[in-house]
Amino acid sequence: MIIPQGVWPTMVTPFKADQQIDYAGLEQLIEWYLAHGVQGLFSVCLSSEMYQLSLAERVKVARFVTDQVAGRVPVVASGHISYSVEDQIDEIKQISAAGVTAFVLNTNRLARASEDDEVLKQRAAFILEQVPDVAFGLYECPVPYKRSLSPELLGWLARTGRFYFLKDTEGVPAHMKAKLEAVQGTPLRIFDAESATLLTSLEAGASGYSGIMANFHPDLYVELIKSYTVHPERAHRLQNYIGLASAMGRVLYPVGSKYYLQLEGLELLLDGRTQHKEAFTVYMQHEIEHLRRSDQDIRSQIAANSSDKLHI
């Protein structure tokens, strides 16, 4: 199996006013991602509010996404949120059965903050043994704590041949380079979650982007990844823009991203289970509106220039 390079949005979950999952909205969202040229989807992750979803909901969301995509792009999913490894294995089996390409393990579920890497290796080995027919990914999820993988540990995991995807959330170019070197010759591909370091990561050999800003302007990330080898000046200018624009991802996320998606014409509510929409102020709305107008200006410049003449 080969995980395609490119942009993998960390999907948000639309909710109705009664806090039930809005599957009609989720269908619109999937089509919006695909229309913006993404290469894969990361469902049932932190952006999806996975810690606030029941296991039945996590399974249903993963199955809905894979069914709706219908093979157009691959789908990976996480959703093992339990501390007990036995419960995690049950989560892995149920969500994997929904048809996802790979199940993404949260590194902070494999060992507590007080436990060392040997504990993580033992738990990972046990999970691989218990579910021998599942392909895996890895996610340095920052909640409830961030468990970054050392190059040595990542190399060990990659050499099992069972891991194909890593969402790297460190945002440290030197660490990214060391991780990329550690997984050479294995099927594991690394995707940067941090906008500000994306171009540096690509130049070091990373496979793309998997982060929250793909819920705002995924096509700009697609353009950067497409351009960085053939139009380096354009890529650098896009990098400057998306690095700055990524600050908008902190505006009451994921409510802010849902407001952006409303501006895009999606029939989504701002409701969710991790943030109260009432905290989304008029000032925040204006910030997101300015971001979208700036995105439109950037797209116009790209469309007007067939060569590397983009002026950002």
261-266 long-range contacts, CB within 8 A, separation 24+ = 261/12, 261/29, 261/32, 261/215, 263/288, 263/289, 263/292, 264/32, 264/292, 266/25, 266/28, 266/29, 266/32
φ, ψ (nearest 5 deg) of residue 193? -95, -10
Q: Is 269 helix (H, G, I), strand (E, B) or coil?
A: coil
Block residue for tokens 């989720």 = 26
H-type alpha helices, 117-231: 117-130, 151-158, 173-182, 198-204, 218-227
Contact between 158 and 186 under an 8 Å Cβ cutoff? The reply is yes
In this prediction, residue 307 has a pLDDT band, given cuts at 50, 70 and 90, of low
pLDDT at 1: 81
pLDDT of the residue at 246: 97
Helices (H) and strands (E) in the chain, counts: 12, 8
Over residues 221-233, the mean pLDDT reads 95
178: pLDDT strictly greater than 70: yes
Q: What is the mean pLDDT of residues 204-233?
A: 97
Four-residue CA torsion sign, 86, 89, 95, 97: negative
Res 226: pLDDT = 95
> Is residue 310 very low, low, confident or very high in pLDDT (cuts 50, 70, 90)?
very low
Evaluate if residue 263 carries a pLDDT over 60: yes
The CB density around residue 196, as the number of other CB atoms within 10 Å, is: 16
**For residues 33-42, average pLDDT:** 98
What average pLDDT does the segment 167-178 reach?
97
Q: What is the mean pLDDT of the chain?
A: 96
**Residues 173-202: what's their mean pLDDT?**
98
Q: Give yes or no for residue 308 having a pLDDT over 80.
A: no
Which pLDDT band, with edges at 50, 70 and 90, does 99 fall under?
Answer: very high
Helix, strand or coil, per DSSP, at residue 15: strand
| Rounded Cα–Cα distance for residues 245 and 269 (Å) | 23
Task: Report the pLDDT value the prediction gives residue 303, as an integer from 0 to 100.
Answer: 83
Burial of 251-284, coded b for 16+ CB within 10 Å and e otherwise, reads bbbbbbbbbbbeebeeebebbbeebeeeebeeeb
Distance CA 249, CA 245 (A): 8
Judged by phi (left if over 0) then psi (alpha if -120 to 50, else beta), residue 49 lies in: left
Q: Determine whether domain 6-304 maps to CATH 3.40.80.10.
A: no
The answer to whether 11 and 43 are in contact (CB under 8 A) is yes
Mean pLDDT for the stretch of residues 283-293 = 98
Chain segment 104-134, per-residue pLDDT in tens: 999 999 999 999 999 999 999 999 999 999 9
